[in-house]
Amino acid sequence: MTDPAGPPAAVATVTAVLVLRGPASALPETLDSLARQTRTPERLVVVDPGVDGNAVETVRAHRGVADAIPSITVVTVPGAASLAYAVCSALAQDLATGAAAPDPASHVWVLTSDSAAAPTTLARLLDAVRRSPSVGAAGPKLLDWTRAGALRSVGLQLTRSGRVIPSPAPGEPDQGQYDRRTDVLAIPATGMLVERALLAELGGPERRLGDFGADIDFSWRAQQSGRRVVVVPRATVRTGAEPAPDDLVPSDSATRMRRQARRVALSRCAWWTLPFLAAWIVLSSTTAAVALLLAKRPRAAWAELSDIGAVLTPGRVLGARWRSRGTRQVRRRDLQGLFVPSRTVLRHTTDLIRDEVALEPGQLESARAAAIESGPVADEAQDLNVLGATWASRATRNPGVLVVLAMTVVSVLATRRFGGSFGERLDNGLTGGETVGVRAGAGTLWHAWLDGWHGSGLGSGAEQGPHLVVLAGLSWLAAHLPLFSAPASPAGAVVTMLVTFALPLATLTTYLAARVVTHSRLPRALAALAWSTTAVLATAVGSGRLGAIVAAVVLPLVAAGVVLAGRRTGTTTATAATVLGAAVLGAFTPALLALVVVAGVVVLLAGHGWARVRGLAIAVGPVLLLGPWVETLVTRPALVFTGPGLSVWGTDQALPWQIALLHPGGAGSYPVLLSAPLVLAGLLGLLRAGRRGPAASVLAVVALLGLGYAVVAPRISLGVVPHGLPEAGRPITAWAGTGLLVFALALVAAALLGAEGLAVSRSRGGWQALARWPVAAALIGSVLLSGAWLTWRTVGSDLRAWPDPRPAVAVDQAESGIGNRMLLLTPEGDGLTYQLLGREVSDVARSLPTPSADRTSSTALATSVGALFEQGAAPGALTPAADLSDQAVGFVGLRTEATDPRIRALDATAGLSRLGEHDGVTFWRVLPGGGGTADSAVAPSRARLVTKGSEQALPVSGSHARLEVRAVVPQGASLVLAEPDAWVRHARVTVDGRILAPSGDRAAYALPPGPATISVEVLPTSATWRYAQGILLLLVVFLAVPFGNRSSRRSRP
């Protein structure tokens, strides 16, 4: 006996729906592929959208299709908005004309005019659908029509929020890497094979979600209804043919497709998560747009912002949700595995950021070429060098890295004789030479530049140099470095690092900048060594000339930027970086700013096309960035010839012939003749390069300008050394080294230019080949000897770790809310010099003395100092200490010998209490109220509430009495600030937002009684200019960030 046979399996039928949309030129190849299918469709429905009447005739005339498919029907669906809608409308018309009703064995295969399927595509799609009853739709792997082996889609990858993840990336070569992909959230309609019954059950596509959105929405709803959507990588369809000029191809832009995907996500999420998902789309899109703007991808940033448009069309979202109600059969969490996980999104974002790293154009093209394989090749043709060189091996073979490391060792050894340990110098900063020891952080330096009243002691209203802004930024970094504790003086730490590592920094920047002259590494490394071992830089390090050190680091880069600006290959990024570097250069060395402006004007006049715009930017940009400082340079021309540490206070400089050999004189100098080979190499380079263009002439002019300035600088009188300082009364002159920096850089560039074409590559002998030329050999020898001299003899011992002359208690009170000062007295002959030390600083290096017109009157302070000793023998006299207390002087220090009778005089002064002695300075504390007996007396403070019978200290929060505090003001009280009379013109005092006027010219303000918020603010010198400078700085920094490149930005949206 045998079991009865079951009912026969239903025979699958396939209706191919060919929508005539897409390039008409691709239609014949699509029809050929349809006729070659190993499993041909039973019926073909041709959908004519009414765009091209000749397309229908092309189908009817194709003999292969007519022979392979017995039933061909033409249906007209005019104005079809989407592919899926055209298919559904055509099927509805076909059903109305008598076609069989849909059943589980009936399937629809969707094609367009440019859908050329492989011969086995339909058979494999049908096998995937029929193999499992849970599969409702299957899609093929979509390949690019024009580029063989380039992928377009292997299913659609989305996040829960509707963000489309391009996996594969457009144009990615097909190497089988996605052939294991099966279940996906969605598939494109092109090439899709779907059960006709499922299509009817779901009611077709959502027309209002767009073409791409309808594809995602249909698949998503199929998944929610309990039917799987799969992709069959072994089934392939070529699509995406380029349209002809006369073709009318309706298609969605990438921006619209993004919005459509977001709308689908909003339509298919849980109702209670809809507002949260909408908020997340707005937040994530805005954040991504900002990040892309920083990456210089404005079009991609705009595309991200366009996603917000999905949230702004709630009617489409709510309508789609209403029309699809009741179709969900599975829980949303059951579809979790179909969405792209967050870790994949994070990895994708990381890849995008890595792709934005600026590559050289050659590297970029090489990377792109390597991304596409040409196909299988013989095993013996494969490159067996699959392991690239490690970074360590590359570094050991890179001359630039080697010379920077060598100069780092030289620099550390050359500064070993500086006073104090390196840790002490790093914590407190340097003093001696041209440096001025300070205890300051980023905020202190920032307000020293920003505020209209600034500076140490009583302060001043003169414009401060913008180099303080640069140092403030570096100080902030020094105070926030991870794994390192903040130094006591972040500004001092910055100065120490710049001085200590000036040589390797200058070596690095010169090696990089020399690419504008030659790409050969060995000559560039030699040029960098020659630059960093010049006597002018060694002298700058030995004397702490901060302006020259910064110029030695920045000047090569700025010069290279000017050269690039004049070339056709110049870029906006390089020009913006040059503008930024020129502004930094001008902030530290104004004389070099003038040279850069002249260079920009030359590029403007002699350049062509966009080079003129770049020249104009270089000529004008730094001037605008420096703002009011340029006006100060015009009104005080002496400042043009100086900078932090760029003046000579009363001492003699080198002779003219020594200057011509790059020696300005001073600490750190080495034998003069060691620089002769560099001068000779530069001159010979000018002669050799003179026949190859105007570059040699330009370098010759620049060299003459630098040398001329250096020779004349010692004769330029900028002022007189003030009384009480060494060399008092002698003239202050410009430093010759400023011009020598220009002269030396021109010589180095000329030598490089002249060496172009010589056999100095590694394959032709390397360093040994370079040494065959006598001048080159002499230059190498002089560079090595100079470095050896600096290592052996060092740059001197003029600099040392700065010891704060104040006791710890004075430092604490100066930086606390009390904000008081210390008066430091130093005997000078029969008289005394005094210095007022507080939380404020003026500068980190000497420049020029403050002009008498800008000096703050200190008559009251001088009177109090004199009265200290005049009345020291009268114990009942409280006036000197009381006057000091009123000026917020909380401590008095006397730097003298222990036998000085002035110590006994101060001991006997009422109101002073002796603390002790440290480093040759004896200290006294000024008692509250100057030693008065009133119970209400307070310690010397910067801000006080004063009434007839009492006073109360108010805590300050910044330099020069800046504060904001909530207090109860007694009847008849005044706010008294220990600041000079001129301070009131630069400050604003408010009570609950109401501005108060001072009582006369004194820094005292009558306050209304009662609880109030008291605010004291020091106003900027020019608020409008400061805002303009800030906006311009942000723009220049944004343009200067080397993130991405022109080729990458053109190739990607």
Let me know whether 20 and 164 are in one domain. Answer: yes
Under a CB-based contact definition with an 8 Å cutoff, are residues 722 and 849 in contact? Answer: yes
- Is residue 440 included in any domain, yes or no? no
Are 248 and 116 in the same domain? yes
Do residues 143 and 215 share a domain? yes
pLDDT score of 728: 83
Closest CA to 643 of 594, 586, 595, 596: 586
In this structure, are 87 and 108 located in the same domain? yes
Joined together, the tokens standing for residue 400 give 């630039």
Q: pLDDT grade, residue 359 (50/70/90)? A: very low
- Residue 9: burial class (beta carbons within 10 Å; 0-12, 13-18, 19+): exposed
Coil vs helix vs strand at 354: helix
Same domain, 924 and 963: no
Which of left, alpha, beta for 190 (phi over 0: left; psi -120 to 50: alpha)?
beta
All residues at 6 or more sequence positions from 291 whose CB lies less than 8 Å from its CB, including other chains: none
Give CA separation, 841 vs 436, 824, 961, in Å.
10, 15, 14
Whole-number Å distance between alpha carbons of 1004 and 1006: 7
Asked if residue 48 belongs to a domain, the reply is: yes
Residue 618 lies in a domain: no
3-class secondary-structure state, position 340: coil
In a domain, residue 322? The reply is yes
CB-based contact 222:152 (threshold 8 Å) = no
Report yes or no on 558 lying in a domain.
no
Distance CA 820, CA 816 (A): 9
DSSP characters over 950-969? -EEE----SGGG-EEEEEEE
Q: Pull the structure tokens for residue 22.
A: 């897409």
Helix (H) or strand (E) holding 27: helix 27-35
Query: 340, 360, 386 — which closes off a domain?
Result: 340
CA separation for the pair 314, 747 (Å, rounded):
69
Same domain, 990 and 863: no
Q: How many domains does the chain have?
A: 3
Q: In angstroms, rounded to a whole number, what is the distance separating the alpha carbons of residues 333 and 223?
A: 12
Confirm whether 115 is domain-assigned.
Answer: yes
Q: Where are the alpha helices (DSSP H) in 225-297?
A: 254-268, 274-294
pLDDT in tens, 671-730: 999 999 999 999 988 888 776 678 889 999 999 999 999 999 999 999 999 887 888 889
Long-range (24+ apart) CB contacts under 8 A made by 689-698 are 689/750, 689/753, 689/754, 689/756, 695/753, 696/750, 696/753, 698/602
Per DSSP, 661 falls in state: T
Residue 369 inside a domain? The answer is: no
pLDDT for 821 equals: 94
Residue 112 and residue 252 in one domain: yes
In the structure encoding, which two tokens stand for residue 228, read together? 């799987």
Does the pLDDT at position 295 exceed 80?
A: no
Domain boundary among 900, 930, 960: 930
Q: What is the largest CA-CA distance in the chain?
A: 139
Half-sphere exposure of 731 (CA within 13 A, CB side): 12
Residue 124 banded pLDDT, cuts 50, 70, 90: very high
Host domain of residue 994 = 943-1022
Q: Tell me the pLDDT tens digit for each residue of 547-587.
A: 999 999 999 999 999 999 999 989 999 999 999 999 999 99
Cα–Cα distance for residue pair 979/988, rounded to 1 Å: 13
Span 438-479, pLDDT tens digits: 999 999 999 999 999 998 889 988 889 999 999 999 999 999
**Last residue of one domain, picked from the residues 930, 951, 983:** 930
Beta bridge partners of residue 135, listed in sequence order: 228
CB atoms within 10 A of CB 27: 24
User: How many C-beta atoms lie closer than 10 Å to residue 609's C-beta?
Assistant: 9
**pLDDT above 80: residue 650:** yes
Q: Which of 207-221, 499-513, 795-809 ranks highest by mean pLDDT?
A: 499-513
pLDDT at res. 351: 64
Contacts of 326 (CB under 8 A, 6+ apart): none
Residue 268, domain CATH: 3.90.550.10
User: CA 756 → CA 128, 422, 691, 750, 1025, distances in Å?
Assistant: 67, 42, 13, 10, 46
Mean of pLDDT values over 766-793: 80
Rounded to 5°, angle at Cα 571 from 569 and 572: 160
pLDDT of residue 370: 40
Comparing CA positions, the residue from 679, 665, 661, 677 lying closest to residue 782 is 677
Kindly state the DSSP code that residue 164 receives in the 8-state scheme: B
Residue closest to 889 by CA, chosen among 985, 825, 830, 934: 825
- Do 121 and 256 fall within a single domain? yes
Write out pLDDT tens, residues 796-833. 999 999 999 999 999 999 999 999 999 999 988 777 88
Whether residue 977 sits in one domain with residue 831:
no
pLDDT exceeds cutoff 50 at 368 = no
Helix, strand or coil, per DSSP, at residue 280:
helix
5 pLDDT above the threshold of 50: no
170 plus 55 within the same structural domain: yes
Shared-domain flag, residues 44 and 115:
yes
963/881 same-domain check = no
| 3-state SS class at 813 | helix
The arrangement of strands across the sheet holding 951-953 comes to: 951-953, 943-946, 974-977, 1004-1006
Per the CB < 8 A criterion, the answer to whether 232 and 357 are in contact is: no
Neighbours of 782 (CB within 10 A): 21
> How far apart, in whole angstroms, are the C-alpha atoms of residue 159 and residue 347?
13
User: Comparing C-alpha atoms, which of 414, 496, 445 is closest to residue 795?
Assistant: 414
Confidence (pLDDT) at 234: 96
Q: What is the mean pLDDT of the chain?
A: 86
Can you give the pLDDT at residue 601?
96
In sequence order, the 6+-apart residues with CB closer than 8 A to the CB of 333 are: none
CB count within 10 Å of CB 909 equals: 26
- When mean pLDDT is compared across 181-190, 310-319, 535-544, 688-697, the lowest value belongs to 688-697
Contact indicator for 522, 760 with CB cutoff of 8 Å: yes
Residue with tokens 């080729």: 1047
